[in-house]
Each structure stands twice: as structure tokens, then as C-alpha cells.
Amino acid sequence: MKMTMTFVLKYARCQVLPGTFDSELYVILGDVSALVDKGSVKTDYPVNGVEVSGSVLVHLIDEKLNQVLVELPGQAVVGSLRTWVPKETLVAA
């Protein structure tokens, strides 16, 4: 029997700051943060050295009641790449 894994991608609301390099952004989601490629992040305003609201592309790992376990794409800075967040954190792509 062949098993296949399905990855569900969603955007999650987050806070965004400049990254170490021009190609990345520092993303804060719940109690974790990561350096993420700019292509995986949407912001309403340019990130000019200040924190702005945005959304980051995440892998949906699990869900229960009103929470979802998501995984950030990138290099963890604080905590791990996975965190539980309220379902309301997810936004349409």
C-alpha cells in the first residue's frame, strides 16, 4: 500500500520585521519567530525597518477545537517552527 502525504498551505496573520538579508523577513507568529523567504510573506505596507502586520505561508499540520498547529517555512529564531494558533489567525490566500 502506497502512502501519500498531502500538505495543506494557508496564510496566517503575523507581525513582520526586516530580516538579516534582503531576501528574507523576520516573522513573529504566536510564541515563535523565524527568518522566512520574502516570497512566503505578504504585507500591506513596506517593511522599512519597522514592524508591520502581514501574513505568512504556513503548513497546516493538525487542528483541534478552535486551534490549528502550523509550521513556518524558514529558520527558527525563537522557539521551534511549529506553534498552535487560533483558527481565526488563518486568512484566505
User: Does the residue 58 lie in any domain?
Assistant: yes
| DSSP tag of 82 | E
CA-CA-CA-CA torsion sign (10, 6, 77, 31): positive
User: Does the residue 38 lie in any domain?
Assistant: yes
User: Does the residue 3 lie in any domain?
Assistant: no
In 62-77, which positions are buried (b, 16+ CB within 10 angstroms) versus exposed (e)? eeeeebbebbbbbeeb
- Containing structural domain, residue 17: 8-91
Q: How many domains does the chain have?
A: 1
3-state secondary structure 29-68: ECCEEEEEEHHHEEECCCCCCCCEEEEEEEEEEEEECCEE
Query: Per residue of the chain (93 residues), what is the pLDDT tens digit?
Result: 554 556 789 999 999 999 989 899 999 999 999 999 999 999 987 778 889 999 999 999 999 999 999 999 988 898 889 999 999 999 976
